[in-house]
Amino acid sequence: MCGIVGYIGKRDAAPLLLEGLQRLEYRGYDSAGIAVGGRPGALRSVKSKGRVRELQAKLPKRFAGTTGIAHTRWATHGAPNDENAHPHLDGEGKVAVVHNGIIDNAPELRARLTAEGVLLASETDSEVLAHLIGRSTAETLEERVRGALRLVEGTYGIAVLHSDFPDRIVVARNGSPVVLGIADKEMFVSSDVAALVSHTRQVVTLGDGEMATVQAGDYRTYTTEGDRTSAAPTTVEWEPESYDMGGHDTYMHKEISEQAEAVDRVLRGRIDDRFATVRLGGLSLDAREARGVRRVKILGCGSAYYSGQIGAQLIEELARVPADAEPASEFRYRNAVVDPDTLYIAVSQSGETYDTLAAVQELKRKGARVLGVVNVVGSAIARETDGGIYVHAGPEVCVVSTKCFTNTAVAFALFALHLGRIRDLSVADGRRILAGLRRLPEQIAEVLRGEREIAAIAADYADARSMMFVGRVRGYPVAREAAQKLKEVSYIHAEAYPASELKHGPLALIEPEVPTVAIVPDDDLLEKNRATLEEIKARKGRILAVAHQEQERADHTILVPRNEVELDPILMGIPLQLLAYHTALALGRDIDKPRNLAKSVTVE
């Protein structure tokens, strides 16, 4: 969560920092702040509750400085207000700190500082870092930061300015991303490459327990104990234009509309027609090891978890290996039995989701084999896992996930086919699934061409006080993801249930004011699903069906083209993204920045 930007060079820092904050606002947008320096003397800082534009309006006309750090916040400790916004300063105004993460022992550190006469200006956990660094008498800024971090328990990605050391920014990472951008005689710092790509595509990603000193012409990396490390630059694959809105009114609409091309990318170069399978070179899992897998456990949070449910279904159907998905946020706390014959798969769009990363680290500690399914090359989960699949969805700026969810589901289809063909899936079935995968991009485009009709349906349901989503087997994770999307962007309460569970309690909620969205594919459960529609209509419930053919008992039906039954869930989720989008649009919601949420959840 939250966004960090830093700059050091010869240019005026403030405009560059504000530009970076605007690109990172999807990571947090309840307050923002900036601090600049570049020559000996007190730092200058401005902070504001609200969006980056409100911070920009508060900046004085003369706010020069060639070194600076800035932050856009998603609140964890303390209300969104000017005082709790970052950067935080020490008592003398010499130290400025921006921080992502959570300091677990902040109450004890605050009490200690207060007892020593320090006046704390905010309610945040982050402010203690500025005072700890400011009160240090160590000779170098690096030693002062290291000394403060030795007192801290928790997670952090930080950037530090000190007016006595105007030629540098010191950064550190433990559980929250920090990236350096290398340009010509200037350097950038960020929590996300989105803030860097318009200036450089050469980046260095810090690992946990790593720090860096950033100066205009160079950088050096080292551990929090002071030992030098050799973090090498890599090239970012995404172009700056990928982060622009591209003529759309919102990023969410842009990213929904990009899904045909995104799915084509995740398939490109991976299909192996000769053996009716796919090539997944990043797995680091040979055929003998794959045949030794007795179970697959998929871990993710939110939409990543729901895509994992689709993946588990695909793995069981195509590879005939028992598979299930579980929220990583629960798995990491429950002292799970780690089986050496189980293959674990961690799913995260950002590759930095803290709960999922912590689950990966616990699994690795216990000797498990863990693969990653992520979108961001070089992210923490990509580095921590034994291998994996990049989903190649491209940058996703809207807080809610659409194209990355779809590409992740396709990536699981590729993995399931790969595993199935190593085991017992026939050549004929392999070719059938490959043909279905190849049809997906054009079928997604066909669904998107029906947007106008879906928008009209959304307007009809925007007055609902609550909505029910139901689906059986393959349709259930589709229903769960669709309910999540509607909640996130429209703020309409929505719940998802297996269709067979409706009669075991939730049916009590059915009434005209609580419509039901039913996933009704043409599979072997079609008649069972139609019976569910009858139960709902008998209680005067309104029904919106997502189906392959018109459903007589539904008030509205959104038609989706048929694919192979195993791949149908991927297509059936697309119109429900548009339903959520147009419902939120009809209600006047801030679609790209839904309340209380932010992208890339790097806190517990």
Q: Which residues are catalytic?
A: 2, 599
Return the beta strands (E) in 149-238 as ranges. Answer: 156-162, 169-174, 179-183, 186-190, 202-205, 210-215, 218-223, 234-235
Cα 211 to chain center, whole Å?
A: 24
Cα–Cα distance, 145 to 96 (Å, whole number): 12
How far, in Å, CA of 575 to CA of 444, rounded? Answer: 9
Phi/psi at 10 (nearest 5 deg)? -105, -15
- What's the CA dihedral at 114, 164, 64, 88 to 10 degrees? -20
What is the 3 state secondary structure string of 465-529? Answer: CEEEEEECCCHHHHHHHHHHHHHHHHCCEEEEEEHHHHHHCHHHHCECCECEEEEECCCCCHHHH
Inter-residue contact 490 to 589 (CB < 8 Å): yes
147 vs 151: CA distance, rounded Å: 7
Amino acid letter, residue 149: L
Neighbours of 137 (CB within 10 A): 7
Dist CA 433 CA 425 (whole Å): 11
Q: Which residues of 208-244 are buried (b: 16+ CB within 10 A; e: fewer)?
A: bebbbbbebeebebbebeeeeeebeeeebeeeeebbe
CB 190 within 8 A of CB 14: no
Residue located via tokens 């063909």: 421
- Strand-pairing partners, residue 221, are 212
Closest by CA to 21, choosing from 92, 78, 59, 69, is 69
Rg (CA), the chain: 25
Q: Are 297 and 344 in contact (CB under 8 A)?
A: yes
How would you classify residue 101: left for phi > 0, otherwise alpha for psi between -120 and 50, otherwise beta?
left
Question: Where is 384: in which H helix or E strand?
Answer: helix 380-384
466-471 and 493-498 as β-strands: parallel, antiparallel, unpaired?
Answer: parallel
User: Measured at the alpha carbon of residue 602, what is the angle toward residues 597 and 604, in degrees to the nearest 5?
Assistant: 85
